[in-house]
Amino acid sequence: MSYLGIGVSPGNVPVHHGSNLKVIDKRVRIIELILRCLILGLAIIGAVLIGTDSQVKVIFSIKKEAKFTDMKVLVFLVIANGLAAAYSLIQVLRCIFSMIRGSVLFNKPLAWVIFSGDQLMAYLSLAAVAASAQSGVISKLGQPELQWMKVCNLYGKFCNQIGEGIASSLIVSLGMIALSGISAFSLFRLYGNNGGKSNAG
């Protein structure tokens, strides 16, 4: 059996592989924590920018106020940002707790919950941003075929602040998509060759 004479003990391989996994785990943990903190901050900023936006215009001696509740899609975006912020806060606390404990991976049911939550929040935030962006384009450019006027010509400050809120929300949705990839990596790694051993790590 000449293959036994390679000079490397079979017991050395898992140790080397395990040390590589710990380095990867640490990097993944740090990236995940940074992303979740970024999403938390930007989701709050987006919700505040949109939720506090209003502008009063006097048209033919009649005061007209534009506010985010006039467009139901903006209400949906504020709610989506609020949910993303709350979810991110919970996940940030979980990340910090796991880093303090020194453990990265968890059992499969918890990994599935995190993966599913990240997927749900990614779809929710992306849908809210897409719908809001479409309404924003119509407000900016109008819709001549339906005789919808360019609202942003009248409410410039209102539209600019809404645009900033949508931009912030777009970064939130992209961050949630990236986190979905990270949580998928963490989940499906549990089903690998060392899946049973990684739970303790």
pLDDT given for residue 199 in this prediction: 46
Higher-confidence residue of 81 and 12: namely 81
For residue 109, the model assigns a pLDDT of: 84
In this prediction, residue 42 carries a pLDDT of 95
CB 186 within 8 A of CB 111: yes
The ranges assigned to domains in the chain are 40-191
pTM: 0.76
pLDDT band at 5 (very low <50, low <70, confident <90, very high): very low
- Residue 91's pLDDT is 92
pLDDT of residue 198: 42
pLDDT at 123 over 80: yes
Q: What is the pLDDT of residue 66?
A: 77
- CA dist., res. 198 & res. 192, Å (int): 9
Unique residue bearing structure tokens 């499969």: 108
pLDDT at 171 over 70: yes
Residue 151 to residue 120: CA distance in whole angstroms: 33
Task: Report d(CA 146, CA 6) in Å as an integer.
Answer: 77
Mean pLDDT (whole number) for 102-121? 81
Side chain identity at 94, as an amino acid letter? R
| Predicted local confidence at residue 106, as pLDDT | 60
pLDDT at 13 > cutoff 80: no
Per-residue pLDDT band at 105 (split at 50, 70, 90)? low
Closest CA to 47 of 166, 138, 160: 166
CA 135 – CA 155 distance, rounded (Å):
14
**Angle at which helices 12-51 and 156-189 pack, to 10 degrees?**
160
pLDDT in tens, 32-46: 899 999 999 999 999
| Banded model confidence at residue 55, pLDDT cuts 50, 70, 90 | confident
Alpha helices in 12-107 (DSSP H): 12-51, 72-101
Residue 199 CA to residue 201 CA, distance in Å, equals 6
Average pLDDT, the chain: 79
Integer Cα distance of 96 and 162 in angstroms: 33
Instruction: Assign 90 a pLDDT band (cuts: 50, 70, 90).
Output: very high
Confidence at residue 195, expressed as pLDDT on a 0 to 100 scale: 47
